[in-house]
Amino acid sequence: MSEDTKPAVHQGRVVVLGTGGTIAGKAARRDDLSGYVAGQVSAADLVAGIPGLDTAPLEVEQVAQIDSKDMGLSVWQLLVARLLHHLDRDDVQGVVITHGTDTLEETAYLLHALLRPAKPVVLTCAMRPATALAPDGPQNLSDAVLLARTHGAKGVLVLCASKVHGAVDVTKVHPYATDAFDSGEAGMIGVVEHGQFRRFRDWPEPLLEGGVVESARGRSLVQRFLGATELPRVELVFSHAGATGDTVRCLLNGAAGLGVPRLRGIVVAATGNGSLHQALELALQDARAQGVSVLRGTRCPLGRVLASPGNWPDTNGLSPVKARLALALDLLEA
């Protein structure tokens, strides 16, 4: 893989889209790193507090102001719509999204699956609130803008603690450390070091040469997504010692009379190389017989399921939470 030691940084226009999260959080005391309320500081105020960000064209837009644990379809739709608008602008070099860490990897994957932009879309975050004694958000946001202006940068990227990850590989691996994300066996794409980006492996491949999706299939999926009132219901189930099929049966039968959307898919986080407790597997077979799509991944943080012929279809190396979104998008397109 090629390595860029000092890639050029252009002074192109960057759009910052704020969605809330810890980076915009406030606590009553500066030493309180856990009792804060997320999504309290505007994206404009975050940008204004960082010296040097205004030396090149920069726009700020508040898309949402939430704790990312509550992320869902409505905010995703707003994000996708605003990304389509800004990425299609000739004067925009890249977009930065401020986001909470809890569901950041899900949003990153969703944007990758829908758009795969040829311009950089950089999600950044913080593990400490804006009111902390030593907040990590300002440096992350500054580095994210630098990354968005880096020559050749493309695709959906995640920047945290100076490390740059791809949307498909990134996972939150620590509940409170400032370096909370990892790319597993794939490795990170690069690092930001003292105002310079150093690349270790290839950028995510885009679907097209322009800024937004142009293929007929891509446009159709994006329009279906933007017009959806809900995503097809896909649930996560874990296999574990002593597992039963009760959870699956409840999912199949629990919607009756409650106004809950019909179950369309299940992603099962299996043990080891996709092994399933026999009681759970019997229930999954019943679900599949009733028309529910079932994908099998692994709950192991490294590696992927190496499926044998005749086994359950696997998640193609995606983590269970990302595979849930991938299956929902497939069902939305069906």
- Give how far Cα 259 sits from Cα of 20, 253, 254, 255, 262, Å: 31, 12, 10, 6, 9
| Greatest extent of the chain over all pairs of C-alpha atoms, in Å | 61
Q: Is 98 a catalytic residue?
A: no
Q: How many CB atoms are located within 10 Å of the residue 125 CB?
A: 29
By C-alpha distance, which of 94, 72, 93, 87 is closest to 19?
Answer: 72
- C-alpha distance across the termini of the chain, in Å: 37
Residues 6 or more apart whose Cβ sits within 8 Å of residue 80 = 111, 114, 115, 222, 225, 226
Pairwise CA distance, residues 233 & 159, whole Å? 30
285 contacts: CB under 8 Å, gap ≥ 6: none
**Paired tokens of 257:** 């009379």
Residue reference for tokens 């009756």? 256
Interatomic CA distance for residues 206 and 81, integer angstroms = 18
- Angle at CA 124, nearest 5°, toward 195 and 206? 90
List 5, 19, 22, 107, catalytic entry: 22
Catalytic residue IDs: 22
